[in-house]
Structure 1
Amino acid sequence: MFELSTPDWNRVVQTEVIDECRILPCGSILIPTNHGNLTLSINEMGIRIQNELKCDVNNYGILVYEPSPFEAAIKSSTTHTHISAKNHRIEIQHSPFAFEWKKSGNTIQKTPNDGHFVRQFRLPPMAKTEEGWLFSINLDAQEPVYGLGEKWSALNKRGQLVRSYNHDALGVNAEISYKNTPFAWSTKGWGLFVHTPSPVTHSVGHANWSQRAYCVLVEDNALDLFLLDGANGALIIEQYTQLTGRSPVPPLWSLGVILSKAYYKDVPELLETAKAVRDKHMPCDVITLDGRAWQDTDTRFAFEWDAKRFDDPAAVINALKAQQFKVCIWEYPLVSVNNKLFDEMARKGWLLKDKRSGQAYRYGWDMSAFAEVLTPLPESGIVDFTHPDAYQFWLESHKPLFDLGIDMIKADFGEQVDNDNMLAYNGDGGKRLHNVYSLLYNQCVYEAAQKYCKTGAFLFSRSAWTGSQRFPSQWGGDPQADWGGLVGSIRGALSWGMSGAPFFATDVGGFYKDTRDPVLFVRWTQAAVFSAHIRLHGIGQREPWSYGSLAERAATKALKLRYRLMPYIYDTMRQSSESGLPVMRAMPLAFPEQGLTHSFEMQFMFGDSLLVAPCTNPDGKVTLYLPQGNWLRFPTKEKYSGHQLLDLTLELDELAVFMPAEHSIPIGAEVENVEMLESDYLQNKDLPHWPEHDLAL
């Protein structure tokens, strides 16, 4: 495939300016080129480059805000055009198209200076290819780049070839991932966002393309690029989320422990587990009925309970409610051909169609992912969320579930729009719909929760695209149950956070290939305490006592700490909702001026005040860097000077967490679920603060 190979730059026709540029009435600059007209505008966030197809394609509501162009002036010669607006200056070279953007005299970005023996540039600054638009910007030597969605390897994407294309990744071990966005930023003070639903390939100083350039290949005929200007990552993320939206604050109960497994096979197992949680005084707020727990796999998904196991669903929900549990149920946006709903939706045109036959597309699953691990699935239709009636039907079909007492939807899958034989009601094919399908699905289910849920709207989604951060929250799917799975999950959380998404959770304990490793489970639980949301989930039991008594004590101690930290976590979530900053903040976000911290990618700030270094190996050893300043060990209050490397060996129930000495954080009551909290809890009225108040667990 083109995006995974080295393009032949000699065969690419570079963009050239072919006529005089002029100012349009809206304030943008019209740039006539051999690849059609482009417009360039300077605005409060930076610069925006678009082609003339912007208004002729489906944009899917990805943007929630469009900045107005500044009033500009231009000066042209036969070879260059100079654009000025406020304190911005842009020089455009005509042949080939190249640019340099300065603000207050300082260069923010420019065309890469990757030269060639014969022509001016080795790779085109801008071009229209068979695959789509190619655009290149400069990378200084050793300049880091962050973002690009949920990725499992190094947070600094420098040297990587990354494709913004959602996959059912079946783990955290490769480049492919469930949540992508074509948004990246550098600590040098710029960001790049491609406003598109289509796949985008990013060569981030990837040596096969150019080690001196960041190149994007936008696999679409439409082009809409934002080059953002911000002094640091936090300000660039603030701009990106102003464009694409921010999350509301989730309900308080969603901060509690979500207990799950794949899967509770019948009602007795479900209710016995719930009773054990309360009998053992394990902190927990939500219990989950995964896909096969409440649906008949052969006929799912149709908003109906498996009658063979649930002759009275209301009684089951009421029994869980009586024990102060919120209830989460699973769904996905596919309908089995074995369910009568398939024929009904196909007849109404509410499923994606097959271009070849004009009939509802029948999606066939890749059975290599199932076999003995997961139950094989039948052919299915895919809900067409571009059809207004289908969207409304799917949204309203949630009402009986919420009326029954369901509190939360686990919106799984969403990556199955995977070939261009699929056709949507709005005219787009599978390639253009593939990524943004997640956004439409997330939005539909979240709006259903807003309309019908009595306990506050909250969504748990696996697949996501630009804008999905507006619908909290997301989880990182299906990690391998080993130390590498834990490491990948932490990196995925931080990378997604650096991409403008504030809330994340992992499958604590790992999803597949579980070896019942008690130390791994404890360390994963401890790490997840310091995430926006926390869910114990995988194939097999994830209740702490299932790993033995030592693990149960250590994991329960960590979960109790989570509940004591709830007022601090909730305050942090409010801050995230206002700014777009993630709850888990990687070092380049948290300490932009302290470059030495940036290479420590396995530690992070949890909000403003807690530095967390998860233990990611079985021997309890942790190496971390304390930034400049004075620090207190949490919760023991030992004093440490910053600007030093620490090597610690932790006991099983011990954490590597630190707080700046001048900070304090509110501490809540020791409770087993949020319904036990006082009504003024969210205002932090009269709560004790650590370190003034001892934290006994």
Structure 2
Amino acid sequence: MNQTVEKAKKRLNQLVHYEKVDNTIYFKGTKEIVELKVLSDEIIRVRLAPRGFFLDDFSYAIENSNFDITSLETEESDDAICVKTASLNCYIEKETMQLRIEDKSGLVINEDEKGVHWEENSDHGGNYVYCSKRIQDDECFYGLGDKPSDLNLRGKRYSNWGSDTYGYQKDRDPLYRNIPFYLGLHHGVGYGILFDNTFKSYFDFGKEDPDVASFWADGGELCYYFIHGPQLLEVVQKYSDLTGRHKLPPQWALGYHQCRWSYYPESTVKDLAHNFRVKKIPCDAIYLDIDYMDGYRCFTWNKDHFPDPKRMISELKEDGFKTVVIIDPGIKVDDNYWVYIEGLENGHFCQRGDGPLMEGSVWPGKCNFPDFTNPEVREWWGKLFEEFVEIGVDGVWNDMNEPAVFGIETFPDDVRHDFDGHPCTHRKAHNIYGMQMVRSTYEGLLKLQKTKRPFAITRSGYAGVQRYSAVWTGDNVATWEHLQIANVQCQRLSISGISFVGSDIGGFTQDSNGELFARWIQLGVFSPLFRTHSAGDTMDQEPWSYGEECEDIVRKFINLRYQLLPYIYTTFWQCSIHGMPMLRPLVFIEQNHKETHHRQDEFCFGDHLLVCPVSEPGVKGRKLYLPEGGWYYYFSDKYYQGGEEIWIDTPIDEMPLFTKSGSVIPHFPVMQYVGEKVVETLTLHVYYKNGEEISHLYEDHGDNFAYEQGICSVKSFSLLGDENSLHLIQYTHGDFIPSYHDVELIFHGIKADKISISQDGKTSKKVTKQKDNTFSIKAIRDFESINIDFE
């Protein structure tokens, strides 16, 4: 830790006075003011004004801060002021102005070690700001975005400063994203802290002092939000209440995506599309990297490579492919380039501190860079996509937006930004630059595409970026270690509020091989963003690139992805409406069970699927932990009782995948792309449970905004089983009418050889078990109940 921060480790002055104004309590020392603002019964904001005044209350992270407060009161004792909500007691010590937060049982959830501090920044002006917390017994830490390390952060230190990290390795820090949100867990109680500071920031989870967790920044304000669970899932939900949630994407965005640096010319793109369809491997999107541009100039086309992009995109669309194009922030300095001319004439580019425009080299050569923190620039940038939308481009891939600059890594500190009317240097704007770029993209597409849902992905981002975009984990490497890293990164991003995430399947740099690619595809099936991507200096990396055996395995698992799309879409809906992370580490399933606190291979995808990717070569089997309850191995229906570690065989054409007992998993028929077929019969796979379970199915048009006017449907399935019978009840809410009129119900795990079935109270009929040990029946789409008696 540097000396400046070390100096900052001093106590604030004693409390002189406090006052309550509505839901905010101000604690005044001789110089400093600490503000404690109660947003809800479980969310409290803490701010420090070192010299007695606060900065403007502005944040790119926070979307909503208006919540209900059940009760709020203050009590004073000889030693402390206690701020009480319906869920928490927050004590401010008079002697030190330190904070201690307890739940209503008296358990200390979070407490200051030295608390909030500050020190003048003599090099840049302003202040270093700092906060230290006591680490509780057996406390674990999670979150913090895309850090490529073990899931549990205890004993580690990290920084947030968006960086272009080509071919990064395990524990490399910092990376592309800047998500200053972490979760703590001890004594079975979870909480979260969002450190809303966009300067270069640091997080220490007991590395320097094993008893102290701390976070600090090189400037700005000490402002953080404490979020009480007590369940870790609830913490993430409340975090997303604050910072916003993913919008429902177009359903095609949940299909398989094929990308490479680069597919060109047009004949290469058309051959790629042809091979997918001939080989019957589903695919929804093809990406065009920077070589589609004229001299790497954004918003242009290389007419030698793509003489008629509108025709090409239209022909791809006829074959079921969406086209996604890359866009970088660097605009080539070129007096004959219309985007450069517009940006220059309207003052849209960033300036250096002494006046000249910020200039740096990227792919086109010398470039200027838009100031995406200026709302006028965001409006201009969004309109630049008009021609792309007119010719049929369906999505935009935002890259190099840390921002990356060749030779100097990123912008110099003195570059100026508008910061939405709060002018600042790049020291403050760096970590939100990429987020504001993809915000500009998303908002532009939203206006131009009108009734269509936008699709955008970004490499860099800050807390709240999920409101605008999906993300991927950056320029990874084709190694088994990176397959392991990708698994953990996707889980970590999901519990950091960013569920729409995936990795470059197969690895971006270096050559993959058939076994590694097949295993990575298996992980990708259970990553919300399912995209293969590779660099131009590597071997081809399409599903058929590694021989027929690998191709067959890849086809099998991409088919599985398309069969599971209604389940995946429903899981995304839960994320967008309720803030539920799509990928859930086992500690989020059993936070009271210490066995799960350090496990990171296994995760749950939604409510009812458990996944454990194979991430080592040549293995014939592996150990994994199943949470408590019953689980069915997906490929054989073999039943396992959870709550312990098991051994599972891992043939190359299977992966450890389990379905929770009692669940109802909807399946589509296999399609070559979303919407290829009209679904005439929906298949519901029902898994027996001796007990009760609830499942859901969300449906809408899949590509427009009619769901916002209530044109959608939520089906809830309530299953109740015992030793002799099984009862399934369906409740439907909403006005959306799907294409299918019938459902096929396939019942798994019933031990009887024959069953008697009655639908909606009608006369029962007998059904015999099939060769695969399942029972299959047809029912009308809107059945109310299915009753099964075992014989």
Give the TM-score taking structure 2 as reference length: 0.80
SS at structure 1 position matched to 2:592: coil
The one-letter amino acid of 1:29's match is I
The one-letter amino acid of 1:184's match is Y
Deviation at 1:215, TM superposition (A): 0.6
Stretch of structure 1 that moved more, 479-488 or 47-56: 47-56
Question: How far apart are the structure 2 equivalents of 1:691 and 1:278?
Answer: 33
Question: How far apart are the structure 2 equivalents of 1:563 and 1:543?
Answer: 18
Give yes or no for the alignment of 1:398 onto 2:398: no
Counterpart of 1:175 in structure 2 is 173
Deviation at 1:128, TM superposition (A): 0.4
Instruction: Give the direction of change, closer, same or farther, for the CA distance of 1:172–1:491 in structure 2 (3 Å limit).
Output: farther
Question: How far apart are the structure 2 equivalents of 1:650 and 1:671?
Answer: 27
Deviation at 1:89, TM superposition (A): 2.7
RMSD: 2.4
Stretch of structure 1 that moved more, 544-553 or 419-428: 419-428
Question: How far apart are the structure 2 equivalents of 1:62 and 1:300?
Answer: 34
Counterpart of 2:366 in structure 1 is 379
Stretch of structure 1 that moved more, 15-24 or 541-550: 15-24
Give CA deviations for 1:518-559 in whole Å, capped at 9, x if unaligned: 100000001110111201111242211111111111111110
Question: How far apart are the structure 2 equivalents of 1:137 and 1:68?
Answer: 28
Counterpart of 2:223 in structure 1 is 224
Deviation at 1:147, TM superposition (A): 0.7
Instruction: Give the direction of change, closer, same or farther, for the CA distance of 1:669–1:8 in structure 2 (3 Å limit).
Output: closer
Contact kept, 8 Å, 1:565 with 1:666, in 2: the verdict is yes
Counterpart of 2:198 in structure 1 is 197
Instruction: Give the direction of change, closer, same or farther, for the CA distance of 1:8–1:135 in structure 2 (3 Å limit).
Output: closer
Counterpart of 2:613 in structure 1 is 614
Counterpart of 1:469 in structure 2 is 466
Give CA deviations for 1:639-684 in whole Å, capped at 9, x if unaligned: 2222232233422211110112222311110111112232687367
Residue 362 of structure 1, aligned match among 359, 363, 370: 359
Stretch of structure 1 that moved more, 281-290 or 453-462: 453-462
Instruction: Give the direction of change, closer, same or farther, for the CA distance of 1:107–1:12 in structure 2 (3 Å limit).
Output: same
The one-letter amino acid of 1:23's match is K
Higher RCO (CA < 8 A, seq sep 6+): 1
Question: How far apart are the structure 1 equivalents of 2:545 and 2:342?
Answer: 44
Deviation at 1:65, TM superposition (A): 2.6
Higher alpha-carbon Rg: 2
Contact kept, 8 Å, 1:181 with 1:499, in 2: the verdict is yes
Residue 457 of structure 2, aligned match among 460, 465, 469: 460
Contact kept, 8 Å, 1:518 with 1:548, in 2: the verdict is yes
Contact kept, 8 Å, 2:177 with 2:460, in 1: the verdict is yes
The one-letter amino acid of 1:309's match is H
Question: How far apart are the structure 2 equivalents of 1:493 and 1:436?
Answer: 21
Contact kept, 8 Å, 1:172 with 1:488, in 2: the verdict is no
Counterpart of 1:490 in structure 2 is 487
Deviation at 1:597, TM superposition (A): 2.5
Counterpart of 2:147 in structure 1 is 151
Identity of aligned residues (%): 25
Deviation at 1:584, TM superposition (A): 1.5
Residue 414 of structure 2, aligned match among 421, 424, 432: 421
Q: Provide structure 1 residue ranges, at least 5 long, that are not aligned to the other structure.
A: 114-123, 366-375
Counterpart of 1:370 in structure 2 is none
Deviation at 1:110, TM superposition (A): 4.2
Alignment of 1:650-689 (within 5 A): 650-678=650-678, 682=699, 686-688=742-744
Contact kept, 8 Å, 1:475 with 1:506, in 2: the verdict is yes
Stretch of structure 1 that moved more, 319-328 or 101-110: 101-110
Deviation at 1:317, TM superposition (A): 0.9
Question: How far apart are the structure 2 equivalents of 1:133 and 1:689?
Answer: 59
Contact kept, 8 Å, 1:333 with 1:383, in 2: the verdict is yes
Alignment of 1:283-322 (within 5 A): 283-292=282-291, 294-296=292-294, 298-301=295-298, 303-322=299-318
SS at structure 2 position matched to 1:543: coil
Give CA deviations for 1:107-145 in whole Å, capped at 9, x if unaligned: 3434356xxxxxxxxxx3221023521112221233111
Question: How far apart are the structure 2 equivalents of 1:593 and 1:557?
Answer: 37
The one-letter amino acid of 1:638's match is K
Contact kept, 8 Å, 1:482 with 1:510, in 2: the verdict is yes
Question: How far apart are the structure 1 equivalents of 2:452 and 2:286?
Answer: 15
Question: How far apart are the structure 2 equivalents of 1:594 and 1:190?
Answer: 17
Question: How far apart are the structure 2 equivalents of 1:257 and 1:490?
Answer: 18
Counterpart of 1:526 in structure 2 is 522
Contact kept, 8 Å, 1:16 with 1:94, in 2: the verdict is no
Instruction: Give the direction of change, closer, same or farther, for the CA distance of 1:57–1:420 in structure 2 (3 Å limit).
Output: farther
Deviation at 1:57, TM superposition (A): 6.0
Alignment of 1:85-96 (within 5 A): 85-86=85-86, 88-96=88-96
Give yes or no for the alignment of 1:626 onto 2:626: yes
Contact kept, 8 Å, 2:8 with 2:118, in 1: the verdict is no
Counterpart of 1:536 in structure 2 is 532
Instruction: Give the direction of change, closer, same or farther, for the CA distance of 1:665–1:133 in structure 2 (3 Å limit).
Output: same
Counterpart of 2:161 in structure 1 is 165
Alignment of 1:560-575 (within 5 A): 560-575=559-574
Question: How far apart are the structure 1 equivalents of 2:7 and 2:453?
Answer: 57
Instruction: Give the direction of change, closer, same or farther, for the CA distance of 1:398–1:228 in structure 2 (3 Å limit).
Output: same
Contact kept, 8 Å, 1:249 with 1:577, in 2: the verdict is yes
Question: How far apart are the structure 1 equivalents of 2:628 and 2:259?
Answer: 40
Contact kept, 8 Å, 2:60 with 2:464, in 1: the verdict is no
Alignment of 1:529-608 (within 5 A): 529-539=525-535, 540=538, 541-608=540-607
Residue 116 of structure 2, aligned match among 119, 126, 130: 126
Deviation at 1:91, TM superposition (A): 2.4
Instruction: Give the direction of change, closer, same or farther, for the CA distance of 1:475–1:57 in structure 2 (3 Å limit).
Output: same
Deviation at 1:689, TM superposition (A): 5.0
Deviation at 1:494, TM superposition (A): 0.6
Deviation at 1:311, TM superposition (A): 2.2
The one-letter amino acid of 1:512's match is T
Give CA deviations for 1:219-248 in whole Å, capped at 9, x if unaligned: 333232111111111101111100110111
Give CA deviations for 1:245-269 in whole Å, capped at 9, x if unaligned: 0111111111111111111131111
Question: How far apart are the structure 2 equivalents of 1:60 and 1:203?
Answer: 24
Counterpart of 2:640 in structure 1 is 640
Question: How far apart are the structure 1 equivalents of 2:649 and 2:168?
Answer: 27
The one-letter amino acid of 2:191's match is W
Deviation at 1:473, TM superposition (A): 1.4
Instruction: Give the direction of change, closer, same or farther, for the CA distance of 1:38–1:11 in structure 2 (3 Å limit).
Output: closer
Alignment of 1:63-78 (within 5 A): 63-67=63-67, 71-75=72-76, 77=78
The one-letter amino acid of 1:479's match is N
Residue 135 of structure 1, aligned match among 128, 131, 137: 131
Instruction: Give the direction of change, closer, same or farther, for the CA distance of 1:654–1:645 in structure 2 (3 Å limit).
Output: same
Deviation at 1:440, TM superposition (A): 1.2
Question: How far apart are the structure 2 equivalents of 1:17 and 1:242?
Answer: 35
SS at structure 2 position matched to 1:197: coil
Deviation at 1:349, TM superposition (A): 1.5
Count, aligned residues: 664
Counterpart of 2:256 in structure 1 is 257
Deviation at 1:10, TM superposition (A): 5.8
Give CA deviations for 1:604-635 in whole Å, capped at 9, x if unaligned: 11111111110101113432111222211003
Contact kept, 8 Å, 1:530 with 1:606, in 2: the verdict is yes
Instruction: Give the direction of change, closer, same or farther, for the CA distance of 1:462–1:11 in structure 2 (3 Å limit).
Output: closer
Counterpart of 2:690 in structure 1 is none
Contact kept, 8 Å, 1:57 with 1:222, in 2: the verdict is no
Instruction: Give the direction of change, closer, same or farther, for the CA distance of 1:112–1:195 in structure 2 (3 Å limit).
Output: closer
